[in-house]
Amino acid sequence: PQAFLRSDADCTIFVYPPKGQSDFPGQLLKLSKMLYGSKQAAALWYNLLNTFLLKLGFRASSMDPCFYRRACEITNDPTAARSDAIIILHVDDMRVAAAPEVLKIIHDQLFVEFQITTSDTGRFLGMDMDYDLTKGMLKMHMHTYIESTVERFKGFDLSKGVPYRELVGSLLWIVLCVLGPELLRVKDLAKRSNRFTIADYKDALKVLDRIVASKQYGIIFRRGGANKEFIPSKTRLGG
């Protein structure tokens, strides 16, 4: 919770208090912790979390600094596991793979340090994860997130304001994760974020309708599927 606010400020930064919260006219506040929106907040948070994971025995991959592995003791058994835990990290969200007893220890250590919240393995970053171990298939899609977006914006009371930026932000996350064919349309909507009208909001709702019609689509990974990628014919040059 409030990940970016946990890092100590690495330089002297003064800010004005929020409007109406000053103790006296012209008051300035000196930051002791980072704030969301400051340029180095994300980097300082990563350094903080990375330092803690290193203390737990994890090491980041040289190919991807957000992929962590904790090595097991080396044995002569070629079938022995090389790692007792694996972590993938996205800003302040992570997935941890480990045996139940190891997972509990890691969870308790993270909870003491960061008061983390947890969820089941079915969701990550707004995406649904469908596993079929028998068929050797993993599907990542956003059916749940799309449904919640429809529920959030379709019946919105516009007398309270037009949530254009919020809707476009949700659409951007959907197309960046799993529905790339709508990306150009959503990027066009994003360009209007500072000068939007009701008509623009209705255009955004139309894009949401098209996304709803494709909510079953996603990204599929198959066991043994490396170098056997299938590209749908409609996405090839020439149709």
The model's pTM: 0.69
Averaged pLDDT of the chain: 88
Which pLDDT score, from 0 to 100, does residue 232 have? 64
Is the pLDDT at 74 greater than 80, yes or no? no
pLDDT band at 235 (very low <50, low <70, confident <90, very high): low
Q: State pLDDT tens for residues 156-186.
A: 888 888 999 999 999 999 999 888 888 899 9
| 130 backbone φψ class: left, alpha, beta (φ>0; ψ -120 to 50) | beta
- The DSSP secondary-structure symbol of 86 reads E
pLDDT band at 59 (very low <50, low <70, confident <90, very high): very high
Distances 179 to 12, 83, 166, 183 between C-alpha atoms, Å: 42, 34, 18, 7
Closest CA to 150 of 165, 167, 163: 167
Q: Which residue carries 């709803």 as its tokens? A: 212
Contact (CB, 8 A) for 128 and 143: yes
Task: Tell me what the mean pLDDT of segment 28-37 comes to.
Answer: 90
pLDDT band at 187 (very low <50, low <70, confident <90, very high): very high
Residues across the chain: 239
Q: Report long-range pairs for 122-126 (Cβ below 8 Å, ≥24 apart).
A: 124/93, 124/95, 125/90, 125/93, 125/177, 126/173, 126/174, 126/177
Q: State pLDDT tens for residues 100-159.
A: 999 999 999 999 999 998 877 788 888 888 888 898 898 999 999 999 999 999 888 888
Distances 8 to 94, 123, 178, 184 between C-alpha atoms, Å: 22, 31, 35, 39
pLDDT band at 18 (very low <50, low <70, confident <90, very high): confident
> Which of 205-209, 229-233, 234-238 is least confident?
234-238
Which pLDDT score, from 0 to 100, does residue 160 have? 84
Contact (CB, 8 A) for 175 and 183: yes
Helix (H) or strand (E) holding 15: strand 14-15
